[in-house]
Amino acid sequence: MTQQQTTEHVTTATIAADPVVPAINITRDFKATPAQVIRAHVDPELAMAWMGPDHRTITIDYWDARTGGSWRYLDSTDADVQAFRGCFHEIGEHRIVQTFTWEGMPEGVALETMTVTDLGDGWCRLLASSLTDSFEGRDAWLQSGMEVGVNDGYAKLDALLAAGAA
């Protein structure tokens, strides 16, 4: 995966398969505080505004962003609707732990851990790891084109952060 950098900041997501466990690791820097990035992930209106590829629309079905809460959203175009759901296991100041399931493959539950670290000078780094159920499942995610949704979504998040929305 190619990285675009401004000085030492990673402004395009680095997406990598873990060689030891069936996990996907994502690294991305934001011109924001950790609190702003966490808020953008737990506030349903903000999440709906930035998640997913540019050509799709996110609609929240339910969103209970608290430790022990759950969520479900629809990702759609005029011709296609996909549903995703999960549970928030921990929401902290610098970390979110949740499950993630595509309802098209309900047996493929991933455990996602996202940590946001303050880098100073108004920047923070998001490190996300999605532990999937198998190496085959992980590789299917990587081959699905997920990087388009990740990078489109994070570019929209950059714009929201720059506009002071989070």
What lies within 8 Å, CB to CB, of 27 at 6+ separation is 10, 13, 14, 125, 126, 127, 128
Q: Return the SS3 of 36.
A: helix
pLDDT of amino acid 3: 44
Is 130 in contact with 111 (CB distance < 8 Å)?
Answer: yes
Average pLDDT in the chain:
92
Rounded average pLDDT over 120-147: 93
Task: Answer yes or no: pTM beyond 0.85.
Answer: yes
Structure tokens at 8: 């030492």
Give domain limits for the chain: 18-162
- Round to whole Å and give the CA distance between 84 and 71: 8
Q: Alpha helices, DSSP H only, in 19-163? A: 34-42, 44-50, 135-143, 146-162
Q: What is the CATH number of domain 18-162?
A: 3.30.530.20
The per-residue pLDDT for range 28-67, each reduced to its tens digit, is 999 999 999 999 999 999 999 999 888 889 999 999 999 9
The per-residue pLDDT for range 59-97, each reduced to its tens digit, is 999 999 999 999 999 998 889 999 999 999 999 999 999
pLDDT of amino acid 7: 54
Q: What is the largest CA-CA distance in the chain?
A: 44
